[in-house]
Amino acid sequence: MSLYAQHGYGKGNKIKYAAQAGTIDGVIFSARHEKPSNVKQCIAELKEIREDFTAMLDPQFFVSYLQDPRDGCLPDHWSSYYSAGRTRRDFRGPKALLKHAKNTLVAQMNLGVDRLVSPSIFFRSFDENACEVAMQLAFASVEAHAQIEDAPPILISFQIEESALNYAEPMERFLDEMTAAELPGFYLTFGRPDSIRWPRCREEVLARMMYIVHVLKLNDREVYCGYSDWGGLLFRAVGADAFATGWHLSSKTFRISSFCGSKTGGRQVLYYSSVPLLNQIRLTDVMAVRRRQISHLVRSRTPADRRIADWSLQLAQLQHWEALHSVSSSLQGDVESNLDSLDTRLSTAAAAFQQIRDAGVIFDQADVDGHVKDWQKAIRQFRVLAELDDQG
Amino acid sequence: MADLPRLTDDDIRCIVGSDQATVYRLGSGGQKVVFRIGDDSPWVLKAIKLGDGESPKGDQTILEARARREFRILSDCNCPYLVAPGPQPLKITFINGQKVLTFSEEFVDGSNLTDVISNEAPLGTVEVKRLALQMSQAISALFTNGKIHRDIKPGNIMRRRNGDFVLLDPGLAFDIRGESLSDGFLVGTLIYFSPEQFEYDKRRSNDHRSDQFSLGVVLYEAATGKHPFRSSSTFSSAAIYIRIQHHSPEELHKSVRGFPPDLARVIARMMRKRPHLRFPKCDNLIKAIEAAGES
């Protein structure tokens, strides 16, 4: 298990193709984008393709707590647990929490999922009331789960805005509490600011994201990281059982603005996911590199590479999973050796970017190599946080 | 500092209901005095002064309530590596104007780990592993009963004549000020504190992982003969706190020749600064110790 598809709008046959090819090992369905009957049917088909394929549903309960939600299928098809416009009042008292938890979990039964995902609400700080509600929902979910017969294992979901990770101390308190409680597994989503997408991330925040994943795994919990795209490689390196990414920007990077307010469309650009650079680059940049006869510096050696001349959105999306899968599959060791392996890849990436610059190629994206330093620094900070330096 | 109970040998004879027995004063510390009645008695009597006069107030009430709770937990634990309660039940007596709480507990025939360390350290790997395993089982038994020890240190561990270890004084309820029971010297306890024990607002949420840290310190000391955090500058509480919070001791398998690296890693993890980096459950810890040093 390592890479999952983060389902979103317009799934087409992508998930099936990738499952068949073995580049993804599971899928996390988005409730707001699919009716229950479709989810059920799709899971059945995927299990036909691969019996060991893991399926789960992100109930996206947190949308009910957002103002002006963009909730898609949720109000009409997932109304057993979803209702728009919830406020703090809806989470008062253990009875109310248990009801939300039970309804959300029961709605996932009979879909064929391998894990049940608990309801949660999005929070921006470990000290705010929303975090307290999220924790209470977590405990209520464990209680509700115990009451459901033949239920698959439960994952406690948390949607944490990365601003919550600006300070270490509240995060550490949160972890002390989570690891002391009987919570068997987690589905974590880190909310990113609108202006930043994976693989970019401030190093101290990224180090703390990695730390959360590492600590939960160290405490023998299952850990799944949603919407983590390239960043998922770091999470995988420090212990995540799997990470997920999708095809649109909105399923690659979690932004709370994708779930509320008016919809903003973007021009679809053709990308190529480069394993040596640990980032995606525009197809036009791939062509520029080819003209300089240095394409070995960016080539991923994924099966889709052969069709670079006929590049399409669908191909780009499948190749993205292939590229991530290829790196993720190499991270099978312990945390130290995985981080060493990523460190080596980052040094290679830095050298490749330099060689590309030296060859006179200027990429369209200005900060296409910014993640290299982010990641190198984050790995260093993580090692200190996790007290890995003295483990011997 | 609370007073020690002022008790004569006759007072003790009166409490245990034995006119002729020889009374030995074994030691005292904090608010507690320990007696052995008779030469061959398999148990000792502990006496704590709750106060002067008949009406308890403040700390005295808490002390008494906690003592009762602790005594009950000890009776329920039934772990061979935890000191067992004796036949004399918890009892309150008014003697010479003092309110005194007494109870009996197993007399552990053997050596205190403080003496063992100072005379024999570094202990061999087999003995360190036995100490680790048996004390982890004692911590586990306490935690299963909703209790953490909070004062794990060599002074509270005895090595029986057969080589088994036993944990004494389970719970600071008997020692409300958190001072050492053996010698009343504050540093003796602080230097075995987990980082979170220094943080007053976290004291209520401490769990077995706090005891795990203290045991890690004891194990390190037993394996090397050196305390991992004591230094020439650790004279004040603040200095001890800083040392425990920020100093990472040298890895055991690097400082002790032949020490199994996997057991060293287990002990290092027990001493991680943050509770969530230590072993999540006592069972995990016990399994890790059992597996260590076997290959």
Model pLDDT for residues A132-150, shown as the tens digit of each residue: 999 999 999 999 999 999 9
Q: State the pLDDT confidence band at B188, using cuts at 50, 70 and 90.
A: very low
Report the number of secondary-structure helices (H) and strands (E) in chain B: 10, 8
The type of residue at A257 is S
Contact with chain A for residue B61, Cβ under 8 A: no
Within 13 Å of residue A164, how many CA atoms lie on the same side as its CB? 26
What three-state secondary structure class fits B47? strand
Whole-angstrom CA distances from B286 to B129, B273, B278, B279 are 10, 20, 13, 9
Whether B280 and A219 lie within 8 Å, measured CB to CB = yes
In a mutational test of the B interface, the residue from A135, A172, A173, A179 whose CB has the highest number of chain B CBs within 10 Å is A179
Closest by Cβ to B277, choosing from A180, A218, A392 = A218
Sign of CA dihedral A198, A4, A112, A33: positive
Record the tokens describing residue A55, joined without a space: 């399926």
Locus of tokens 């004891």: B218
* Beta bridge pairs of residue A292: none
Contact A304, A319 (CB under 8 A): yes
Higher pLDDT: B211 or A364? It is: B211
The type of residue at A159 is Q
Q: Write down the pLDDT at residue A392.
A: 37
Contact A121, A129 (CB under 8 A): no
**Rounded mean pLDDT of B230-248?**
82
Looking at CA atoms only, how far is residue A254 from chain B in angstroms? 27
CA angle A192, A193, A196 (to 5 degrees): 85
Nearest CA in chain A to B272: A387
Choose among A300, A350, A288: nearest CA to A325.
A300
Provide the edge-to-edge strand list for the sheet that holds A26-30.
A54-58, A26-30, A3-6, A242-245, A222-226, A185-191, A154-161, A116-117
- Among B1-15, B93-107, B214-228, whose mean pLDDT is lowest? B1-15
Whether A390 and B207 lie within 8 Å, measured CB to CB = no
> Which chain A residues are within 8 Å of B272, Cβ to Cβ?
387
Whole-angstrom CA distances from B176 to A129, B72, B152 are 34, 17, 15
Rounded Cα gap, residues A275 and A145, in angstroms:
40
Q: Please give the backbone phi and psi of residue B265, each rounded to the nearest 5 degrees, phi first.
A: -70, -35
Whether A215 and B277 lie within 8 Å, measured CB to CB = yes
pLDDT at B295 over 70: no
Rounded Cα gap, residues A303 and B271, in angstroms:
48
Q: State the pLDDT confidence band at B236, using cuts at 50, 70 and 90.
A: confident
Whether B276 and A178 lie within 8 Å, measured CB to CB = yes
Residues of chain A where predicted confidence (pLDDT) is lower than 50: 391-392
Is B151 labeled as catalytic in the residue annotation?
Answer: yes
Q: Write down the pLDDT at residue B202.
A: 65
Looking at CA atoms only, how far is residue B291 from chain A in angstroms? 17
What residue spans define the domains of chain A? 3-259, 271-385
Looking at CA atoms only, how far is residue B271 from chain A in angstroms? 11
Residue B195: is the preceding peptide bond cis (ω within 30°)?
no
Locus of tokens 């698959």: A152
Whether A175 and B276 lie within 8 Å, measured CB to CB = yes
Contact B70, B173 (CB under 8 A): yes
Whether B273 and A387 lie within 8 Å, measured CB to CB = yes
> Which chain B residues are within 8 Å of A387, Cβ to Cβ?
248, 272-273, 277
Q: Write down the pLDDT at residue B54.
A: 55
Looking at CA atoms only, how far is residue B201 from chain A in angstroms? 11
pLDDT at B187 over 60: no
Contact with chain B for residue A179, Cβ under 8 A: yes
> Which chain B residues are within 8 Å of A175, Cβ to Cβ?
274, 276
Catalytic member of B3, B19, B59, B151: B151
- For residues A320-359, one letter each, b for 16 or more C-beta atoms within 10 angstroms of the residue's C-beta and e for the rest, the string is bbbbbbbbbebbeeebeebbebbeebbebbeebbeebeee
Contact B101, B89 (CB under 8 A): no
Closest by Cβ to A176, choosing from B248, B251, B276 = B276
In a mutational test of the B interface, the residue from A171, A221, A223, A387 whose CB has the highest number of chain B CBs within 10 Å is A387
Whole-angstrom CA distances from A341 to A329, A335, A346, B211 are 12, 10, 9, 36
Q: State the pLDDT confidence band at B174, using cuts at 50, 70 and 90.
A: very low
Contact with chain B for residue A391, Cβ under 8 A: yes
Rounded Cα gap, residues B265 and B272, in angstroms:
11
Q: Can you tell me the ipTM of this complex?
A: 0.84
Whether B205 and A177 lie within 8 Å, measured CB to CB = yes
- Per DSSP, the residues of A132-187 read HHHHHHHHHHHHHHHHSTTPPPEEEEEEEEGGGGG-HHHHHHHHHHHHHS---EEE
B 186-225 residues with CB < 8 A to A: 196, 205, 207, 209
Whether B277 and A387 lie within 8 Å, measured CB to CB = yes
> Which chain A residues are within 8 Å of B282, Cβ to Cβ?
none
Nearest CA in chain B to A168: B274
Q: Write down the pLDDT at residue B1.
A: 45
Closest by Cβ to B251, choosing from A177, A219, A392 = A392
> Which chain A residues are within 8 Å of B205, Cβ to Cβ?
176-177, 180
Higher pLDDT: B285 or B6? It is: B285
Q: State the pLDDT confidence band at B206, using cuts at 50, 70 and 90.
A: confident
What is the distance between the terminal CA atoms of chain A, rounded to a whole angstrom? 28
Q: State the pLDDT confidence band at B231, using cuts at 50, 70 and 90.
A: confident
Record the tokens describing residue B235, joined without a space: 């004279």
Q: Write down the pLDDT at residue B101.
A: 87
Contact with chain B for residue A219, Cβ under 8 A: yes
Q: C-alpha A33: how far from its chain's center?
A: 17
Model pLDDT for residues B116-134, shown as the tens digit of each residue: 999 999 999 999 999 999 9
Q: State the pLDDT confidence band at B19, using cuts at 50, 70 and 90.
A: confident
Model pLDDT for residues A69-99, shown as the tens digit of each residue: 999 999 999 999 999 999 999 999 999 999 9
Closest by Cβ to A387, choosing from B253, B272, B284 = B272
Q: Write down the pLDDT at residue B183.
A: 37
Contact A165, A209 (CB under 8 A): yes
Whether A176 and B264 lie within 8 Å, measured CB to CB = no
Contact with chain B for residue A177, Cβ under 8 A: yes
Average pLDDT over all residues of chain B: 84
Looking at CA atoms only, how far is residue B249 from chain A in angstroms? 8
The residue count of chain B comes to 295
pLDDT at B60 over 60: yes
Whole-angstrom CA distances from A228 to A87, A204, A231, A366, B289 are 28, 17, 5, 22, 36
Sequence-distant contacts of B283-289: CB under 8 A, at least 24 apart:
B283/B140, B284/A220, B285/B136, B285/B140, B285/B212, B286/B133, B286/B136, B286/B137, B286/B140, B289/B129, B289/B132, B289/B133, B289/B136, B289/B263
Nearest CA in chain A to B246: A387
A55: left (phi over 0), alpha (psi -120 to 50) or beta: beta
In a mutational test of the B interface, the residue from A169, A183, A219, A388 whose CB has the highest number of chain B CBs within 10 Å is A219
Choose among B208, B184, B5: nearest CA to B103.
B5
In a mutational test of the A interface, the residue from B271, B277, B279, B285 whose CB has the highest number of chain A CBs within 10 Å is B277
Contacts of A317 (CB under 8 A, 6+ apart): A14, A247
Record the tokens describing residue B238, joined without a space: 């603040």
- For residues A247-260, one letter each, b for 16 or more C-beta atoms within 10 angstroms of the residue's C-beta and e for the rest, the string is bbebbbbbbbebbe
Record the tokens describing residue B142, joined without a space: 């306490």
Looking at CA atoms only, how far is residue B70 from chain A in angstroms? 23
Contact with chain B for residue A386, Cβ under 8 A: yes
Q: Write down the pLDDT at residue B186.
A: 37
Which burial class, exposed, middle or buried, applies to B233 when counting CB atoms under 10 A from its CB (0-12, 13-18, 19+)?
Answer: exposed
Q: State the pLDDT confidence band at B16, using cuts at 50, 70 and 90.
A: confident
Q: State the pLDDT confidence band at B184, using cuts at 50, 70 and 90.
A: very low
Whether B280 and A220 lie within 8 Å, measured CB to CB = yes
Q: Please give the backbone phi and psi of residue A255, each rounded to the nearest 5 degrees, phi first.
A: -125, 130
Q: Write down the pLDDT at residue B30.
A: 63
> Which chain B residues are within 8 Å of A218, Cβ to Cβ?
276-277, 280
Choose among A85, A90, A209: nearest CA to A158.
A209
Nearest CA in chain A to B260: A392
What three-state secondary structure class fits B40? coil
Contact with chain B for residue A176, Cβ under 8 A: yes
Calculate what percentage of chain B has a pLDDT beyond 70: 85
Choose among A21, A19, A60, A55: nearest CA to A38.
A55
Q: State the pLDDT confidence band at B179, using cuts at 50, 70 and 90.
A: very low
Nearest CA in chain B to A221: B280
Which burial class, exposed, middle or buried, applies to A201 when counting CB atoms under 10 A from its CB (0-12, 13-18, 19+)?
Answer: buried
Contact A242, A1 (CB under 8 A): yes
How many CB pairs lie under 8 A apart between chains A and B?
Answer: 47
What is the distance between the terminal CA atoms of chain B, rounded to a whole angstrom? 50
Residue B122: is the preceding peptide bond cis (ω within 30°)?
yes
Q: Which CATH number fits domain A3-259: 3.40.50, 3.30.310, 3.20.20, 3.30.420?
A: 3.20.20
Record the tokens describing residue B18, joined without a space: 């034995």
